[in-house]
Amino acid sequence: MNFLEGKRVLVTGGTGSLGQSLIRRILSGEKGKPTRVTVFSRDEAKQHYMRLAFMRQKAATDEIIYENSQDLLNFRIGDVRDYPALLAAMRDADVIFHAAALKQVPSCEYFPFEAVQTNVYGAQNVVRAIRENRLPIETVVGISTDKACKPINVMGMTKALQERIIVEANLDCADTNFVCVRYGNVIASRGSIVPLFVEQVRNRQPLTITLKEMTRFLLSLDKAVDTVFAAIEQGERGETFIPKVASARMTDVARVLMGREDLPMVFTGIRPGEKVHEIMVSEEECFRTIERGEYYAIMPTLPELRRLQDYTPALDGEYSSKDGNVSLQALAVLLGEADREIARFMTAGN
């Protein structure tokens, strides 16, 4: 389905790990060729280096050549906290991927109101711009996190509010389809544990792990982008899409990445706001969760937004990273598939 054919696409937070992978896939034309792709973010240095990287990039994949990427790809300096700047960018968009966020858990714990301003007010500004100006936006996809499910930290709390703000917008913005995506630890994203382990193994340093019991969902950047695309293609208004992905113990991830090296593991203790296990669907949400192929879709809390009235829940309990952890062999395959992403991360300083 070429749902981006001829569309004007806006990506807030487009210089982030997911934003760059999303834009690379959009520019490949796999979902249709857009007329314009705009990166909206507040860091001019990241935009500058992203622009240079994409100008030098010859191919979106091994087979597909970027065509007119310099004409298609645009950059706008701005902050989702700044309503006028965001509104100006949104006036020229048909599809919005809202990825801008403060996402580092300890940083949000120390600066909670900063997280509120970006993660909560930023989402509200997106909705406000559409609602008050009747912008003809077709689709908004809010990018969330497993930490929004039964949140115990500021980052998760603010992302949970972001989800509710975006879902609720379906009530009075009839011409716009608002959906959300919630996923776990992206293997090669900025601040994730895998690149840290890779760097520690490279330098023959001890591998630092917070707790022996800690588990996480693991997915590649491409799988994260697949989930975003699936939410547009398959999602009903107000649904939150969840990928079906592997989960693993962090000690097993460390063992696989060190390979034949025999490096010590150092347990540093849990960080402020950190969970031992992540949950992507809570036991309260599971009763309004259905299957959509490779994904779960959580129907909205507000009953008037649910289109399906007769359905069979896909889960009978919470979807947690503590359950069904993959074997070392399966984990090695998963990390091997993500090896190029990790390498790109390490060389580009993503």
- H runs (alpha helix) in the chain: 17-27, 44-56, 69-72, 83-90, 105-110, 112-115, 122-133, 154-168, 193-202, 221-234, 250-258, 328-337, 339-348
Burial class (CB in 10 A: 0-12, 13-18, 19+), 313: middle
Rama region for 13: left / alpha / beta (φ>0; ψ in -120 to 50; rest): left
pLDDT tens sequence across 137-163: 999 999 999 999 999 999 999 999 999
Backbone φ and ψ for 191, nearest 5 degrees, come out as: 90, -5
Is pLDDT of 198 > 90?
no
| CB distance 253 to 327 below 8 Å | no
Helix or strand holding residue 218 (H, E): strand 215-219
**For the chain, domain boundaries:** 8-184+221-243+279-319
Class for the domain spanning 8-184+221-243+279-319: alpha beta
More confident of the two residues 54 and 166: 166
Instruction: Quote the pLDDT of residue 42.
Output: 95
Active-site residue, from 46, 147, 150, 159? 147
Average pLDDT over the chain, rounded to an integer: 90
Any catalytic annotation for residue 103?
A: no
Is pLDDT of 66 > 80?
no
Nearest partner of 16 among 194, 158, 181, 221, judged by Cα: 221
Percent above pLDDT 70 for the chain = 90
Please, which pLDDT band fits residue 60 given cuts at 50, 70 and 90? low
Is pLDDT of 55 > 80?
no
Tell me the mean pLDDT in the region 314-326. Answer: 94
Instruction: Quote the pLDDT of residue 54.
Output: 82
More confident of the two residues 330 and 229: 229
Tell me the mean pLDDT in the region 312-322. Answer: 95
Instruction: Quote the pLDDT of residue 345.
Output: 46
Instruction: Quote the pLDDT of residue 348.
Output: 45
